[in-house]
Chains A and B, each alone.
Chain A
Amino acid sequence: MATTALPSTTSFDFRTTVSDNRLKALWRMMTGFRLLYGGATLALGFAAIFKTLTFLLLAYFTDEVLEKRDFEFIGLVAVGFVALALMEGGFTFLSGKWAARTAEGVTRRLRNFLFDHVQRLSFSYHDKHQTGDLLQRSTSDVDAVRLFLADQAIGAGRIVLLFVVNFTAIALLNWKLALASVVVIPPILVVSVFFFRRIEKSYEKFQEQESVLSTILQENLTGVRVVKAFARQQWEMDKFEKENFEKYKRGRKLTINHAYFWPTTDIICSLQMLGGFIYGATLAIEGEISLGTYLAYAGMVVWLIWPIRNLGRLITQMSIGLVSYGRVMEMIKEDRESLVGINKPPHGEVKGEIVFDDVSFEYDKDVAVLHNISFAVKPGQSVALMGPTGSGKTTVVNLLPRFYEYTSGKIMLDGIELKEYSKEFLRDQIGIVEQQPFLFSRTIRENITYGVSREVSDEEVEVAARAAAIHEVILTFPKGYQTLVGERGVTLSGGQKQRVAIARTLLKNPRLLLLDDATSSVDTETEGEIREALQNLMEARTTFIIAHRIQSVMNADLILVLDKGRIVQRGIHDELVEQDGIYRQIYDMQARIETELEKEIASV
């Protein structure tokens, strides 16, 4: 075995395999496995040869032992049959084993690559692609590629090799007999390719109906309240019945197709077999071939004809596999965002001074989202961003970790332009708490330690959780910090998730903090606790706050009011309430609410 050591799974860059010719690309993708796969094919060839040798031994046995009544070596011949079977079996096994190694090895490498690829693709890519689509490409399409290598290509190879070896052997024994035995091969091949193409389509329709049924069932189950509330059980049953029956009908159609194909080709193949038998028998009677040769022929011809029917199936499946492969390739082609910067990262800690200098950003070409944004923050200060949905608040903070690249102007961190830092370094300095924080379905502890790569002690986790006012809540769960998020029976409320996210950020201990609407979706009860947790978090960090309410922003060192991608007002709370403008309108609103409330209560 030439290749026992597996090539490293991650270092292989699939982007070097991209080619318009799918077969060529597939070949490139097999780098490191080609020898193994070649070995698997070779072993198949040997297995076929040993199988054929078995029939030749049978010929020898008939002609030299039985016909000549010379029983001296009969024991040896008997052992010969077992020995040939062992050789054939051994090579068949090796071939299966090596093909599996190749298929599974290539797939594992591909899976790892795609996983890494997905998390390194840019945000613009993720914005434009549906989760379901990416998921399908990385799972079922990859599996189609695996099947291509593991079953289909090797299966087709086996049929071709069996054909070649047996045809050659028969031809060597008697070329006329060989030619007479393959008359139906071309029509059988054509018919089977045609048939399996058709079956594939019927099968697709059948599967579509299956998903229609699933949808009805799923909607019925999730909507059980509605069904019961309107007493629509009968209606639902009728609806299900209709589609269920449709599925039965499509299944029936599929079955009927099969019911025609197999016996029809059975007849054709059997006629060919019989023709060969009769012709061979005639040749034997006329003495052109020996009886042994006839017997060998009768054995070999089986492997010449019957497997061909399956070639049609394999060819159809392979073409589907290649389509899947093309879909995977489209994803591989995409560029990753580079995490490594142009210059070396600076030594020591970042102070956290941020300057926006005339920054503009276009999301798509010609659709400007930010216009000429300029402002400056000193280390440890906080900036609040207010404005309506779509005004560009989130975009401003998205530029800092370089989730998107600004299109003109400059953003400076500690006097050095952002683009000079590596994204890797920048993102280490930044912590983000979002409106609807995303938690992974891992334990709560793992979610809290998600942002740090080092080992973290239980004490550290607890300190962070306490500061985020979530420690007590976690202790009420049966498994405490080991509770799985999303586990049945334990549900974290929006506020609790928020606080876990805050603990996560506290533990990460970033210099820059981005609070994206971190309190708006939380109920009043926990709002106070979160506010306090956020206060802990903001201490001594440069902070960007996106918020809707005056209370959330009034202590900021700089307040920016954005509208349609421009800064329309700037200053501190005391200045802004003095100015005419949006800010004062919001401020006045609060006072107005109190008066109205008093009026309302009094009027009752």
Chain B
Amino acid sequence: MDLTPRTSTEPGAQAPTRKRRWLPMLIVVGALLGGGVVVTKFLTSAIDYYCNVDEVGVRSGCSGERRMRVQGVVEQNSVKQADGGTTFILDFNKKTLKVAYSGDPGGIFQECIPIIAHGRVVNGVFESDRIEVKHSNQYVEKNAKRIDQSNKEAAACSVLKG
């Protein structure tokens, strides 16, 4: 007896047709391709070495004029903006690096905040074309008492820098 589901005249009794399965198949293929693209992008973005400021010129992969990502803290009173560009000093483990960025960094970029700059060292200056501002996992309510505390810490930061 042939039990292949057939189109029925009764509403709602229609069996699923083969045509309907193309979309899930395409989605599965799309998911496989998408997964491949995501992994590839992650791996290619990791090609640029991720260096701390104190590793620049010292650690293998962090020297020369090769493209890299440099992590550090923006030194207080070092940010200068002119001719559409921004220059500042990046600080990490008592080592500093001058950074020249072609534009306004955006985000919550400010002094005494950790950032990651993408670019390369040219004549002792890190010429950056991309800046990402790091945020710590600390969330502090904004209020007068805390702002005072923050100002004290900023003052202490500048004293430490001499």
Answer whether A and B are interacting partners: no
